[in-house]
Amino acid sequence: MSERSFKSTRIVLWLALLAAGFFIGTAWNSKNNQSNQQQAKTEPKAIATAEKTFTEDSKEENQANSVNSEPLSLNPSERATIALFENAAPSVCYITTSNLRRSYYRRNITEVPRGSGSGFVWNTKGHIITNYHVIEGADRATVTLSDGTTYQASAVGVAPEKDLAVLKIDAPRSKLRPIPLGSSNNLKVGQSVLAIGNPFGLDQTLTTGIVSALGREIESVAGVPIRDAIQTDAAINPGNSGGPLLDSSGKLIGVNTAIYSPSGASAGIGFSIPVDAVKWVVPELIKYGKIKRPSLGITMRSDIAQRLQINEGILVITVTPKGAAEKAGLRPTYNNQTLQFEQVGDVIIAINGEQVGDYNDLFLELEKYNPGEQVSLTVLRDKRQIQIPIVLDVSNQ
């Protein structure tokens, strides 16, 4: 083979190797592209599957959250309590009081917070009922209704001996929701009660309990007993004073007024003024500004009675000129003109057959009657019992 032929053969061989390498590389790239395409097709499936799984999980989670956000199953008693609160709460208000102070040096007047309590709407004329001790000694009172609107209040009438007061606000009738009145003469120990008020300034607070006892006697601000008070274990704290005590139908049965507690907070013993007393006291306060009590037209002195050894009944010290006692012929101990001792006067021991042992008994017994009514007094005179009819006067106090 010639040298020229050998070179030609070698060139052809190199060209064949290059062609084979080209075809092998092309085949390899084609295989890789197919593999990548298959992988690309597979990956979106995986992503789609993952997205579908995530969506389904989210849907299940949202459904679970939706189930959790729905109110729990409530029994009929709970539903009734909730409905009662929602219906009664708009009738309950928050009362704050303040005093005005004048600066000694600058002579300007500042308003100093005094206290707070609760109250409730009595009628659509703007009359608000609360405890007397809530506003006692205050220069100003502010009433905040359940919707947050606030009004300056004026005092219409007070009855310290009943721990009741009537305020008045100038509010639209649409904002005033009077509370329905119930009765307290047929209450039973053990029946359910609910109290709504603003303990410690926390507005619209509901507490529940039962009537723990009836016929309790508590002392009013005036030192006169409040009889037939309702005892309850529904939590009553400072700030609840003046708020309503409701029965299970949402009717007013009492006005929360006091607690018995060594610590000053609720100890499960609270007291309310019975609504039957509220129903006759409030109209008197609205009409006259005070309770128009009947009067016997006498003066009493426990120290003189003790000195004369009169330990039971009411000793008549003097009689009011032209008053009920003088007209009825009651005998005084001291002369009206000279105030000199004349004799041991009449001792009243009963009114219409009801025993009266002291001033509080007499005060509460007269409360049952109206001025102008006639009653029969059982009187001790010279150690003999006699009956004296008397027409009651109007008290000036």
Question: Would you please indicate which residues are annotated as catalytic (active-site) residues?
Answer: 133, 163, 241
| Torsion sign (Cα): 220, 226, 232, 233 | positive
Tokens representing 213 are 């006892």
Is the distance from CB of 225 to CB of 99 less than 8 angstroms? no
Amino acid (one-letter) located at 176 = L
Amino acid (one-letter) located at 36 = N
Q: What's the rounded Cα separation, in Å, for the pair 71 and 78?
A: 12
Region at 212 (left for phi over 0; alpha for psi -120 to 50; beta for the rest)? alpha
- Which parts of the chain fold into alpha helices (H)? 3-69, 76-88, 132-135, 275-288, 302-307, 324-328, 359-366
Region at 84 (left for phi over 0; alpha for psi -120 to 50; beta for the rest)? alpha
* Selection from 135, 140, 100, 251 nearest residue 186 by Cα: 251
| Torsion sign (Cα): 177, 183, 189, 191 | negative
Burial of 228 (0-12, 13-18, 19+ CB in 10 A): middle
Residues paired with 95 in a beta bridge = 117, 143
Q: What is the dihedral of CA 144, 145, 149, 150, to 10 degrees?
A: -30
Q: What's the rounded Cα separation, in Å, for the pair 279 and 254?
A: 10
Q: What's the rounded Cα separation, in Å, for the pair 136 and 31?
A: 99
